[in-house]
Structure 1
Amino acid sequence: MLSYTGGFVLLAAVLHASWNAMLHGNDDRFRSMTWMSIAIAAVSTLVILFTPLPASAAWPYIVASGLVHIVYNATLVRSYRRNDLAQAYPVARGSSPLLVTLGAALFTHEAVGPLHVLGIVMISGGIIAIALEGRHVSRAGLLAALTTGVTIAVYTVIDGIGVRLSDGEALAYTAWMFLFYWLMPVLFIATRGLTALWSPAGAAPGAIGWSLVGGLISIAAYGIVIWALQSGAMGTVSALRETSVVFAVLIGRVFLRETVSAKRWLACLVVAAGAACLGF
Structure 2
Amino acid sequence: MSDWILSIEGTPAGHTAAMILALTAALLHAIFGSLQKGRIDPWLSRGAIDSAQVLLALPLALFLVPWPEGHEWLLVLGALPIHFCYKVGMALAYSRGAFTVVYPIVRGMGPVFTVIGAYLVFGETFSLTQWLGVLALMTGIFGLAVYNLKTIKVDRDTLVPALWLAAGTGGLVAVYTTYDAFAIRGTPNPFTFLAWFFVVASVDMPIVAALRWRRMTDRPPLARLVRLGVTGAIIAFGSFGSVMLATRLDKVGEAAVLRETSTVFAALIGWLVLRETVGPRRIALMSLIAVGAVIVELGG
Given the two structures, how large is their TM-score scaled by the length of structure 1?
0.91
Match of 1:154 among 171, 175, 178: 175
CA contact (8 A) 1:75 1:148 kept: yes
1:45 equivalent in structure 2: 58
Tell me, yes or no, if structure 1 residue 69 matches structure 2 residue 105.
Answer: no
Alpha-carbon separation, structure 2, partners of 1:5 and 1:13: 12
1:262-277 to structure 2, matched below 5 A, reads: 262-277=280-295
CA deviations 1:191-246 (Å, max 9, x no partner) are 543x86995346xx234312320122012210011111113211110110110110
Q: Is the 8 A contact 1:79 1:141 kept in 2?
A: yes
Match of 1:78 in 2: 92
Contact 1:32 1:208 in 2 (8 A): no
Q: Secondary structure at the match of 1:133?
A: helix
Seen in structure 2, the aligned counterparts of structure 1 residues 134 and 209 have a Cα distance that, compared at 3 Å, is closer
Shift, 1:122, TM fit? 1.9
Counterparts of 1:237 and 1:197 in 2: how far apart (Å)?
Answer: 43
Q: 1:26: how far off?
A: 2.4
Alpha-carbon contact 2:48-2:225 (below 8 Å) kept: no
For structure 1, the residue ranges without an aligned partner over 5 or more in a row are none
Q: Which runs of 4+ in 1 moved over 6 A?
A: none
- Which residue number corresponds to residue 27 of structure 1? 40
Question: What percentage of aligned pairs have identical amino acids?
Answer: 27
Query: Structure 1 201/244 Cα, relative in aligned 2: closer, same or farther at 3 Å?
Result: same
The question of whether the paired residues in 1 share the 8 Å contact of 2:257 and 2:293 is answered with yes
Shift of 1:128: 1.3
2:197 corresponds in structure 1 to 177
| Corresponding residue of 1:8 | 21
2:162 is matched with which residue? 141
Asked if structure 2 preserves the Cα contact closer than 8 Å seen for 1:124 and 1:239, the reply is: no
After alignment, is 232-241 or 131-140 more displaced?
Answer: 131-140
Instruction: Give the drift of 1:11.
Output: 1.3
Find the residue that maps to 2:249 and give its secondary structure: coil
CA distance in 2 between partners of 1:51 and 1:239 (Å): 30
SS of match in other structure, 2:129? helix
What is the 5 A alignment of 1:1-280?
Answer: 3-49=16-62, 50-54=64-68, 56-133=70-147, 135-136=149-150, 138-167=159-188, 169-179=189-199, 180-193=201-214, 199-201=219-221, 205-280=223-298
Letter in 1 for 2:192: A
- 2:79–2:176 Cα contact (<8 Å) kept: yes
Q: Distance in 1 between matches of 2:166 and 2:289?
A: 19
Q: Secondary structure at the match of 1:263?
A: helix
Q: Provide the rounded CA distance (Å) in 1 between the counterparts of 2:42 and 2:148.
A: 26
Distance 2:113 2:242 in 1: 20
CA drift at 1:27:
2.7
How far apart in 1 are the matches of 2:16 and 2:270?
A: 29
For residues 123 and 206 of structure 2, the distance between their equivalents in structure 1, rounded to whole angstroms, comes to 38
Q: Secondary structure at the match of 2:145?
A: helix
2:11 match? none
- What amino acid is aligned across from residue 177 of structure 1 in structure 2? F
TM-score (norm 2): 0.85
1:239–1:275 CA contact under 8 A, matched in 2? yes
Residues in 1 aligned to 2:187 and 2:35: alpha-carbon distance in whole angstroms: 32
Paired residue total: 276
Asked whether the equivalents of residues 200 and 208 of structure 1 are also in contact (C-alpha less than 8 Å), the reply is no
Quick one: distance in 1 between partners of 2:251 and 2:131?
11
